[in-house]
Amino acid sequence: METTASVEQQPVARDRDPGYYNLLSYIVSNAIAGEIMAIENYSEMVQLMPTVDEKIETVHQAKEECKHILLLSKLGHRLDFGVQKRIVEPQWNNIRKHFSTAVGKGDLAACLIIQDLMTETMAIMLYRTLGKQEDTDSTTAQVATNILADELEHLGIGIARIQRLLARDADSVHDALVWAHHRVMPELFSMISTSCHFLCDELSVDCGSLSLGEIRNDIESLRVEALEQYIDTLDKVGFDSTVTNALIASMASYREMDRHVLGLTRGADAGGSATPCCGPGRC
């Protein structure tokens, strides 16, 4: 007689076009790479945490990212698509290098901003996208929804941590935000794409065949959503709007960022600086 665990491991019938599973292979492999990076970031950051409780909390966050890798890997097994359980794309390695630089400087604020705010914000956007059962499938949506709950908790922890640092030394925290933004956000936004450097070859997938239409989405919509999520995160922390407006405006220079996308989220006031907007269709 089969146990509950063995039943859960049974493959799920593939009822979508092969292109859908190729897209999942690509997206989930990138998600796993982000989780691997998160484990390394949290593990490296432990030494900077000021209290034992915060060190324990950070180790727990790393452990949860380990759980996410296992869940995503099992998803690939159940739906019979390949995943890479290692970092392939250079953007992840670049972000890791910037994080390690911040650790080397003893800049806890920059570390928290990179991992707990910026990377978690992008993860939330990703898992929200995969968690829409009407656009993906019930198995993928359930896994993504479970992981999303953890990522939202991590974001909340990060916001609280940064707010405490802001209360003590706002100038240095804003300096850390500017430093991290210009190094990390271009890397993260460059990955909102269906083209890659090496991942498609590793997965034996044709980059040219990947289409977000397989999950009823498109690149521009995802960039708008990611930008809105990032702005919302910055606003929740309570950063100086003069600083954050300038950072958001600077994103117009990103090769991947169409000015139309930026305009959907931030308008321009009479002085030419970026100002908050309530988003497309909601102003």
The answer as to whether 260 is a domain residue is no
Q: Which of 34, 136, 17 is nearest to 84 (CA)?
A: 34
The answer as to whether 278 is a domain residue is no
Q: Do residues 141 and 16 make contact, with C-beta atoms less than 8 angstroms apart?
A: no
Query: In b/e form, how buried is each residue of 207-217, taking b as 16+ CB within 10 angstroms?
Result: beebebebbeb
DSSP 276: E
The answer as to whether 158 is a domain residue is yes
The answer as to whether 238 is a domain residue is no
The answer as to whether 77 is a domain residue is yes
The answer as to whether 70 is a domain residue is yes
Q: Which of 204, 221, 241, 209 is nearest to 84 (CA)?
A: 204
Written as six digits, the tokens of 84 are: 């890479």
Cross-strand bridge partners of residue 266: 276
Q: What is the CATH number of the domain that holds 36?
A: 1.20.1260.10
What pLDDT is attached to residue 278? 32
Written as six digits, the tokens of 182 are: 């210009």
In whole angstroms, give the CA distance from residue 259 to residue 264. Answer: 9
In what helix (H) or strand (E) does residue 268 lie, and over which residues does it extend? strand 266-268
In whole angstroms, give the CA distance from residue 84 to residue 168. Answer: 42
What pLDDT is attached to residue 208? 77
Cross-strand bridge partners of residue 274: 268
In whole angstroms, give the CA distance from residue 193 to residue 256. Answer: 9
In whole angstroms, give the CA distance from residue 269 to residue 159. Answer: 28
The answer as to whether 226 is a domain residue is no
Residues of the chain falling short of pLDDT 50: 1-8, 260, 264-283
The set of residues, in sequence order, having a beta carbon less than 8 Å from that of 254 and lying 6+ positions away, is: 185, 186, 189, 190
- Number of folded domains in the chain? 1
| DSSP codes of every residue in 215-250 | GT--HHHHHHHHHHHHHHHHHHHT--HHHHHHHHHH
- Containing structural domain, residue 124: 16-180+188-221
Taking CB atoms within 8 Å and a gap of at least 24, the contacts of 246-249 are 246/273, 246/274, 247/177, 247/178, 247/181, 247/182, 247/185, 248/274, 249/273, 249/274
How many CB atoms within 10 Å of residue 175? 15
Whole-model pTM? 0.83
In whole angstroms, give the CA distance from residue 69 to residue 262. Answer: 32
Q: At what angle do helices 18-45 and 90-104 cross, to 10 degrees?
A: 10
Written as six digits, the tokens of 210 are: 């990947």
pLDDT in tens, 29-58: 999 999 999 999 999 999 999 999 999 999
Residue type at position 19 = G
The answer as to whether 197 is a domain residue is yes
How many CB atoms within 10 Å of residue 67? 13
Q: Are strands 274-276 and 266-268 parallel, antiparallel or unpaired?
A: antiparallel
